[in-house]
Chain A
């Protein structure tokens, strides 16, 4: 699968090179050619005046760039910053956005996470750019792309610089730590505590745990998956982080699970609740807040005072 993706990427870049070469003869415009996260070409002009955001992370980027007034539509899940909730709602990716509702807002730019409505909107003549970040560098790139599309390159550069600085500050401390404690990151065990969902290799949560100076015990497999309680007990993590605190799973509840009481994390009292899961799973500017939060959980000794 990865090989296929790689092949696709190679073919795509070949196409791009060829099309750029052909384009050079015609006009200087193609010099602006960049691609979105699905590898689709994006025409850069900074004319976007009314924007529909189809993802909470995208809404956060737009607000962070000071574009609140140009956002004419958001998803049902766009709750940050609070004023985003007053903007017209266009639905949710599941079960689906209404193309009519989006078009009715007359956007000149729709920013989407991957979704089914893209083709419909494009057939209707609306410019759609897909942002689909898979790591923190993609987030930087996406913020810069949004900057280019809206004429806020300076704000975007400043935002990315401050994010990079804060990440570097965390890494400077955690990199110097004597040890990398083992971490179990519980995404959801609210309906089956014997098989908690966890975030494996390649997920945002996993890369944040690494940057925060920890080692995830779930990194042996990629993507989100259910890990058996047996594996968790065997790995005996030093730290347990509960993203499912949002569903009512508390550190006390974890200690009360049969056999979990003897885990190192439980006996040493290092079971932490994630109060705002959007910090760790929303690929927007606040991902750095999430990193700092995790670093404080994993290495409290480095972040005292």
Chain B
């Protein structure tokens, strides 16, 4: 076993990950300096230095510029990175677990559960808040997790949870919850004035309203990505099929549950601050696999970094390309994701090993 582990550790991994984290840093930097309000780069630099409490530049900028940079834009950039990292990691986990190229973070019903939760929250009076979260993110998070629990429970037969029954029960539970959501939308008067909010939730958009929410979600996602990296060996084993995984010493049912729980928690965390951002969790793991290969020790952290950079850039476009107001980020990810992916798929003409 130690020999196997040694083969996977290499300087190449370190180099690749350093480069990808650099990419993420560059994208976050660009997303921080660009926005609707124009603040000059030197001024921004001085604002940052002032915050470090070492320097004390005389402000040549408006007080509101500082508010825009630190209270509005930076949380958005960090929020985008958190959402992208979480969704891409969850995508790797679910694709690895289900050995299914169509798997994405939403495959076993998290999206439908979150959407129903958010819809219910929008029917209730505004004003409830917990740790800086409104009712919508809280119920979206809870809805996503409850749905996974239900799906897992329904799929469990005789102490085993076959992948096929999980996929199928996820599919039917999703369908039912989605129908329930539309039933509520159709029948509830309280929802009619907020129907557009439901719609925006379904299309996805990074909506952090300050640092409070990130202080909860960001550590959760970071820990989740690290935990996913620790599960990489097991994900590699699952590539052999469940029987194969059992032969190399994997406790199949226990590890399946661990991967499932981790992927669902990451997805629910992302959904709570962004609604249903599509395509990131499906395409980023595939793209990274195309370029770097299917080995999960590299695939997990690399996908997290690429997913984070991808959503940061998509969110930058979402908030700047229309002349007034903003676009939902989900539209951008679904528009720019596929062409990039098709390019990677067709490049070099080699066959794609999933």
Residues of A within 8 A of B (CB): 1, 4-5, 8, 38-40, 76, 89-101, 103-104, 106, 114, 116, 119-120, 123-125, 132, 202, 222-225
Contacts and interface: CB of A to CB of B under 8 A. Distances in A.
B200 interface: yes
Interface in B302-354: 319, 322-328
By size class, the interface of chain B is 35 or more
Contacts of B324: 76, 89-92, 98, 101
Contacts of B125: 4-5, 8
Contact of B67 (A5, A40, A94, A103): A103
Given A1-B190, A95-B328, A100-B36, 11 more contacts: A98-B36, A98-B319, A98-B324, A98-B326, A100-B319, A104-B37, A104-B68, A114-B194, A116-B200, A123-B209, A223-B188
Contact of A91 (B203, B210, B326): B326
Nearest to A120: B209
B207 A116 contact: yes
A99 B319 CA distance: 10
Given A96-B200, A114-B194, A103 B72 contact: yes
7 contacts: A1-B190, A76-B325, A92-B324, A94-B200, A116-B197, A120-B72, A225-B186
A97 B188 CA distance: 25
Contact of B189 (A8, A103, A132, A222): A222
B42 interface: no
Nearest to B320: A98
Q: Which of B67, B190, B200 has the most CB of A within 10 A?
A: B67
Nearest to B69: A100
A96 B194 CA distance: 12
B324 to A, nearest CB: 4
Interface of B: 35-37, 62, 64, 67-68, 71-73, 123-127, 134, 186, 188-190, 192-194, 196-197, 199-200, 203, 205, 207, 209-210, 319, 322-328
Q: Which of B73, B207, B209 has the most CB of A within 10 A?
A: B209
Contact of B64 (A4, A104, A225): A104
Contact of A124 (B36, B67, B205, B319): B67
B124 A4 contact: yes
Nearest to A39: B127
Contacts of B200: 94-96, 116
A269 B193 CA distance: 34
A93 B196 contact: yes
Contact of A103 (B37, B124, B127, B196): B37
Given A91-B324, A94-B199, A124-B72, A119 B35 contact: no
Contacts of A125: 67
A122 to B, nearest CB: 8
Nearest 10 CB-CB pairings of A with B = A91-B325, A223-B189, A104-B37, A100-B36, A94-B196, A123-B210, A89-B324, A119-B209, A120-B209, A101-B36
B192 A223 contact: yes
Contacts of B188: 1, 223
A274 B124 CA distance: 34
Contacts of B126: 38, 114
B193 to A, nearest CB: 7
B163 to A, nearest CB: 37
